[in-house]
Amino acid sequence: MLDQPPDPVAARRTNPERSFSHEVKSLRLGAGETFRGEGVLAVTKAILQAGVGYVGGYQGAPMSHLVDVLVEAQDLLDELGVHLETCTNEASAAALLGASINYPVRGCVTWKSIVGTNVAADALSNLASPGVIGGALIVVGEDYGEGASIIQERAHAFALKSSVWLLDPRPNLPTIVRLTEEAFELSEASNTPVMMELRIRACHVTGEFPAKDNRPPSVSRNRRLAEPAAYNYDRISHPPSTYIHEKLKVEVRQPAAERFIVERGLNELLPGTRQDLGIVVQGGIANVLMRGLDRLGLADDDGAGSIPTLVLNVTHPLSSDQIADFCRGKRAVLVVEEGAPDYIEQSIHAILRKRGIDTTLHGKDMLAMAGEYTAELVTDGLLKFFARNANDIDLSGPRTRFEAARAGRAEAQRLLGRPLPLRPPGFCTGCPERPVFSAIKLLEREVGKVHISSDIGCHSFATLAPFNLGNSILGYGMSLAAAGAVAPVMERRTISVMGDGGFWHNGLLSGVSSALFNRGDRVLVVMQNGYTSATGAQFIPNTEGNRRDGQNTSDIAATLQAMGVKWLRTVRTYDVGLTLRTLREAMTTKERGLKVIVADGECQLARQRRIRPQIAAQLKAGERVVRTRYGVDDDVCTGDHSCIRLSGCPSLVVKPSPDPLRSDPVAHVNNGCVGCGLCGEVADAAVLCPSFYKADIVRNPTWWDRLKWRLRSTVIGALARA
């Protein structure tokens, strides 16, 4: 049974990204102890303290660690009776919350937003409509602003349209933990799922809070229910129940939520001396605002501010009374709300207008309409707000300092002359996916440019330098579907690239089955590296050895065959020649229909983590180990760097030419090389140059190795001098 604790063999197979043993220890802290760690881990601890009964999620920065850490905390989960589901996509995670519709059990699921919320949307709507009786919490990593890897949209929209409550806690650990715990109660008090968004910096913020004991859930794997819930059509999201649900949302659940929010003081009112002014801010960016006020000298020595501030740790629903009470009697209020559209600002406008309150409301007219609210942007907006509404406050000092910092930056940029080269993410050293794109580059030399439909995953780095391959990205697992209407209008076949993560997440059904059903004449390359590598090498259905029982789960090629794919090839990616021939065949064969190439090669990061300790142990035991790496003869290299343009390997770098007569730097393989052999393969397949050599270093050599070596060296030495 899959929901049973894993056997000891399987338990050794854990996430290879990193070990979380230290983090797991902090999850066991009890009352009287102090928790220290990151925001994500604090949330993980808080849900255990709140007596969560089941946890699920789909990996994605910045929230991956919640599930990753719990995967390693299986012993603790077993003691508490908490069920953990590592879902294969966000829709499956959202549907998990269905348990809380009928049963008094608390559940928490997590994913990356906005993308994960999009995928989960169907289940979310169907969850929010009947509502829940057990607290349901969705923790979304709001991947927004600097360091984000996805489309810039707000999870807020989903909260509004589905009537899910949205928490946006002030990013310090005590507040995050308190809100997490209260979220379950809010959910139960209003029969509504609650979403909590944490931005990238909040997920990684360090801090401490007083721990409490973990609470075993009252209904759990360890305390099972004897009977299923009684039949109740009201809990089915079908008409006519759905008409009743819609009414319940606005007439019962939202008022209950507003009462809870105000009574429990979930939003924070920071007092200030200037009663004629006010600021309303999302909790998540309250720190940026408060530091901005400090910078302008608008905080007193004891740390209290002079501008009354309403910190919205809950951004939906807004309590109309709370907002009206805060704004009433003030000359002007500034809304500090990050991202577009300005949902909160619009709501506050509506609340004030309906109640006839004539306070001037500013927001995105003074702050930016779109984009991250950085320290600079908020300071700029505050200066504008006070200049317009409170010119009695002397801000000339801070304004001068602020202008000077901006002028200094302009001066620095002038000194540097031009923008600095960017460091886009790229494939790791030895990545098994890189050779496929080297082969596609070479293919394009023969057949001409090809429409490449890209996907989400490490392979999307091929859309960046040096490959610059890719015409569109339509979402996770969508690359094959996204070529559906391109292929019919194109002379050459299209190539869709998909990772194995994307394949199981969505690509199998949205892409493969639809392409087969519509007899699409397209090429699909599935990168089979064994993990969702871009999110930290989590396990997926084709990972060798399921974490629960050590057995294999699903095989991609077998699945494709079963679905009816006729043209199917599997290549080892490092063989660039074979990959190129296979791609060429797929592009030119007379055979019509879907052609799938499974490009196989284990994620090199995961592989290195796996084999490094093994090799160290072998070396320690005195066993013979051959280490392979590549090199460049710097007097044969002429400094054209074709090899770098066809690979971009981080360990393939340039260094000054040792030749006093040549000025162009030459290629060089640094010690990061893991000996994957791609540079040699590419030099070979592209007929580049004879500079590359492969060196096999024999460690702990046998007497035979040594003898051979000595004999050869002697003869060769003599020949060289001859």
- Using rule CB under 8 A, residue 650 touches other proteins: yes
CA distance 504 to 509: 9
- Using rule CB under 8 A, residue 25 touches other proteins: no
Q: Which residues contact 606 (CB under 8 A, 6 or more apart)?
A: 16, 17, 529, 530, 531, 533, 537
- Using rule CB under 8 A, residue 428 touches other proteins: yes
- Using rule CB under 8 A, residue 413 touches other proteins: yes
- Using rule CB under 8 A, residue 420 touches other proteins: yes
* Spatial contact of 566 and 596, defined as CB atoms under 8 Å apart: no
- Using rule CB under 8 A, residue 391 touches other proteins: no
Could you say which DSSP state residue 505 is in?
I
Strand partners, 413: none
**CB atoms < 10 A from the CB of 109, how many?**
29
Report in angstroms how near the CB of residue 452 gets to other proteins at its nearest.
17
Position among 461, 476, 503, 539 found at the interface with other proteins (CB under 8 A): 461
Position among 1, 31, 415, 562 found at the interface with other proteins (CB under 8 A): 415
Window of 46-54, 200-208, 242-250, 503-511 that interacts with other proteins by CB under 8 A: 200-208
What's the order of all strands across the beta sheet hosting 495-499?
A: 472-473, 452-454, 495-499, 523-528, 595-600, 567-572
Q: Is the dihedral of CA 636, 642, 644, 646 positive or negative?
A: negative
CA distance 636 to 129: 70
Window of 349-357, 373-381, 557-565, 612-620 that interacts with other proteins by CB under 8 A: 373-381
- Using rule CB under 8 A, residue 585 touches other proteins: no
- Using rule CB under 8 A, residue 321 touches other proteins: no
- Using rule CB under 8 A, residue 405 touches other proteins: yes
Query: Tokens 């460049």 map to which residue?
Result: 632
Query: What are the backbone angles phi and psi of residue 179, rounded to the nearest 5°?
Result: -65, -35
Could you say which residues in the range 158-177 bind other proteins, by CB under 8 A? 171-172
At 570, is the secondary structure helix, strand, or coil? strand
CA distance 288 to 281: 10
Position among 88, 605, 611, 674 found at the interface with other proteins (CB under 8 A): 605
Report in angstroms how near the CB of residue 567 gets to other proteins at its nearest.
26
Q: Which is nearer to other proteins, 520 or 530 (CB)?
A: 530
- Using rule CB under 8 A, residue 658 touches other proteins: yes
- Using rule CB under 8 A, residue 157 touches other proteins: no
3-state secondary structure 88-156: CCHHHHHHHCCHHHHCCCCEEEEEEECHHHHHHHHHHHHHHCCCCCCCEEEEEEECCCCCCCCCCCCCH
Report in angstroms how near the CB of residue 667 gets to other proteins at its nearest.
9
Window of 47-55, 339-347, 349-357, 629-637 that interacts with other proteins by CB under 8 A: 629-637
CA distance 457 to 471: 15
- Using rule CB under 8 A, residue 719 touches other proteins: yes
Report in angstroms how near the CB of residue 615 gets to other proteins at its nearest.
14
Could you say which residues in the range 682-711 bind other proteins, by CB under 8 A? 683-684, 686-690, 692-699, 701, 705-706, 708-709
- Using rule CB under 8 A, residue 654 touches other proteins: yes
Position among 376, 521, 575, 585 found at the interface with other proteins (CB under 8 A): 376
Could you say which residues in the range 44-73 bind other proteins, by CB under 8 A? 61-62
* Spatial contact of 217 and 51, defined as CB atoms under 8 Å apart: yes
* Spatial contact of 393 and 331, defined as CB atoms under 8 Å apart: no
Position among 157, 369, 465, 558 found at the interface with other proteins (CB under 8 A): 465
- Using rule CB under 8 A, residue 448 touches other proteins: no
- Using rule CB under 8 A, residue 499 touches other proteins: no
Window of 7-15, 109-117, 274-282, 297-305 that interacts with other proteins by CB under 8 A: 297-305
Position among 536, 546, 607, 676 found at the interface with other proteins (CB under 8 A): 536
CA distance 216 to 96: 19
CA distance 187 to 195: 10
CA distance 197 to 187: 15
* Spatial contact of 523 and 493, defined as CB atoms under 8 Å apart: yes
Window of 2-10, 175-183, 239-247, 409-417 that interacts with other proteins by CB under 8 A: 409-417
